[in-house]
Amino acid sequence: MDLKITGGTVVTASETFRADLAVHRGRIVDIGRRITAPADRTIPAKGCYLLPGAIDVHTHLDMPFGGTTSADDFETGTRAAAFGGTTCLIDFAIQSKGQSLAAAVDAWRQKAEGKACIDYGFHVAVTEATDQVIDELADLVRLGVTSFKVFLAYKGALMIDDGAFFKILRRARQVGALTMLHAENGEVIDVLVSEARAAKLREPIYHALTRPEECEAEATARAIRLAEMAQAPLYVVHLSCFGALEEVKLARDAGLPILAETCPQYLLLDLERYREPRFGGAKYVMSPPLRHKSNWPVLWDALAGGDLQVVATDHCPFNFKGQKDLGKKDFAAIPNGAPGIENRLQLIFHEGVNKKRISLNRMVDLLAASPARIFGLGPRKGSLAIGADADVVVFDPKAPFTISARTNHMNVDYTPYEGFKGRGRVVTVLSRGKVIVDGRKFLGLPGAGQFIKRKRFGQ
C-alpha cells in the first residue's frame, strides 16, 4: 500500500466516523477503524477531519475579460486551489465570436495542459448560438464536456438572446447536458449604466446600483420559464439575492429540475464594500454585485435546507493595481470578478459550520458531493469511498487562521476577505494519492492535473 492516513475522522455528505484511510495507486483502497497493513508512508491525522477534496465548479482561469485577462492561470490558480483544499475544478471555456465550441475547448485545453496541478474539466460558455454551434453540443458531450453556460447579461460581449438560450436549453436536454445560467437582465442593466454614465456617476458603488436585485430575479424567473418550455434542467450560477432565490424555490416546489449555487462573497460581504475609499470599492466589482446583508441569512438557510445545492467561488481575479484601475474614471470599465479559489473551504467551515448555520456533512455535500453528482464527476470525485480517487483533505478544525493577500497563494494583489479570522485549516492535501500540500509546502507539479471526462447530466 502506498500510503495511509491514521487516527482521523472521516466526513462525507452523510456520515462522520473515526477511521483510517488507505491509498494505493491513486485510489482509496480501504477505510476502516484500524488499518494495520503496512504502508510506504503514514500520515497521522489525530484531531483532524478527513474530507473529500473540494470541487469548485465555477472558475475563470486565464480568461480574457473586460479588456484584460484574469490574473491566475492554470498553474497559479490550481496551486492556490490546492492550498485551500480544492482538488478538482471546472473552468469555463469561453466561445469567442465566430469560433466553434470545439475550438474554444481546445484553446482552454492548451491553457491547462502542462500547467494544472489538480484535475479539471470544462464547461463551455456559448456566446453565439448559430445552428452549427447548436449541432456541436452533442460532440462536446461525447468529449466529456457536459455543461454549457449562457449569459443573459454583459450586453455586447457575452450576452445571448432568449431565442438562442431556448435552443441551447432544448438541445442540451436532448444530448444529456446541463445548461448553466448567468441570470441578470442585460438589457435593463445597459439602460441603467448608460444613464449613470450620462449623469457622470463614476464611482464603484454605481456598479451595484445599476444592477439591482430585480434584474437578477427577473432573469431567473424568465430563464426558469424558458427551461420549463424546453423541458430542460437548469443550473443558476452565483445566485446572490432573495428575489432570485424565491424564483428557484417556487420552481423546485413545483417539481422542476432547477438547481442553483451561491458563492462565499454573497454570504459574507455586502454592498457597503463598494464605498471603500480611494477606489477600494473596485475590489468587489463582480456580477451580480454584492447585495444588502439582509440577503445573507436567507442564502444560508437555503444552503442548509437544500434549495441551494452548491457553493462555488466564481474565482475571476484581477489585480487592484494595473487591472481594476482600468475603471478608475468609470465604474463600467472595471473588470468584473474577484479572487476566491483559495479561501472557500475555510470560510464556509468557519462561517457555516462553526457558527452552526450548516452541519459539517452539509458542508461536504455543498463543496464536494453535490458538485460531483450534478456535474458528472462521481463516483471518482466528491466522496471518500473505496475505489474513489484518493483526493483527500486533512483538515484541522481547531487551527486558527487569518486571511491575507500576503499569505494567500493566488496571483493577485488583494483578497476581499483581508483580515477575516476563524478556525479550521487545511493541513495536507492528496490529489489521486499524491501529497500536493504538506502544511505550508506545495509538493504538486504543474501538468500533473488531468482532464476529467464528465458523465452526462443525471447519469
Cell 432565490 locates to 245
123 contributes a contact to Zn ion by CB under 5 A:
no
CA-to-CA dists, residue 99 to 93, 142, 202, 213, angstroms: 12, 19, 34, 33
Residue 337 CB, nearest distance to ligand URP (Å)?
Answer: 4
299 binds ligand URP (CB under 6 A): no
Asked whether position 316 contacts ligand URP by CB under 6 A, the answer is yes
- Interface with ligand URP (CB under 6 A), residue total 8
Task: Give the C-alpha distances (Å, rounded to integers) separating 271 from 152, 241, 327, 380.
Answer: 22, 12, 18, 39
Residue 344 binds what, of ligand URP, Zn ion, none (CB under 5 to 8 Å, by partner type)?
none
Q: Is residue 314 a contact point for ligand URP (CB under 6 A)?
A: yes
Using rule CB under 6 A, residue 60 touches ligand URP: yes
Q: CB-wise, 51 or 308, nearer to ligand URP?
A: 308
369 or 412: CB nearest ligand URP: 412
Q: Which stretch binds Zn ion (CB under 5 A): 1-9, 178-186, 196-204, 386-394?
A: 178-186
Q: In angstroms, what is the minimal distance from the CB of 182 to Zn ion?
A: 3
Q: Distance between CA atoms of 102 and 104, rounded to whole angstroms?
A: 5
> Whole-angstrom distance between the N-terminal and C-terminal Cα of the chain?
32
Residue 182 found at the interface with Zn ion (CB under 5 A) = yes
- Largest Cα span, the chain: 73
Among the listed residues 281, 337, 382, 449, the single contact to ligand URP using CB under 6 A: 337
412 binds ligand URP (CB under 6 A): no
Distance CA 8, CA 46 (A): 5
Residues 269, 182, 324, 200, CA torsion sign: negative
Residue nearest to Zn ion (CB): 182
- Residue 377 found at the interface with ligand URP (CB under 6 A): no
Q: Does the protein bind ligand URP through residue 287 (CB under 6 A)?
A: yes
Write down the residue that cell numbers 441569512 correspond to. 297
Q: Cell digits for 217?
A: 430575479
Among 182, 207, 381, 432, binds ligand URP (CB under 6 A): 182
The yes or no reply on residue 336 touching ligand URP (CB under 6 A) is: yes
Among 101, 116, 160, 286, binds ligand URP (CB under 6 A): 286
Q: For residue 69, list its beta bridge partners.
A: 64
The least CB distance from residue 81 to ligand URP, in Å, is 16
Q: What is the DSSP letter of 120?
A: E
Asked if 324 touches Zn ion (CB under 5 A), the answer is: no
C-alpha cell at position 81: 486551489
DSSP string, 291-354: B-TTHHHHHHHHHHHTSS-EE---B----TTTTGGGGTT-GGGSPP-B--TTTHHHHIIIIIII
- Please report the DSSP string for 219-280 in residue order: HHHHHHHHHHHTT--EEE-S--SHHHHHHHHHHHHTT--EEEEE-HHHHH-BGGGGG-TTTG
CB of 241 to ligand URP, least distance (A): 14
- The verdict on 211 binding ligand URP (CB under 6 A) reads no
Least separation, in Å, of the C-beta of 64 and ligand URP? 11
Q: Give the chain's length.
A: 459
Q: Tell me which residues touch ligand URP (CB under 6 A).
A: 60, 182, 286-287, 314, 316, 336-337
Q: Tell me which residues touch Zn ion (CB under 5 A).
A: 182, 314
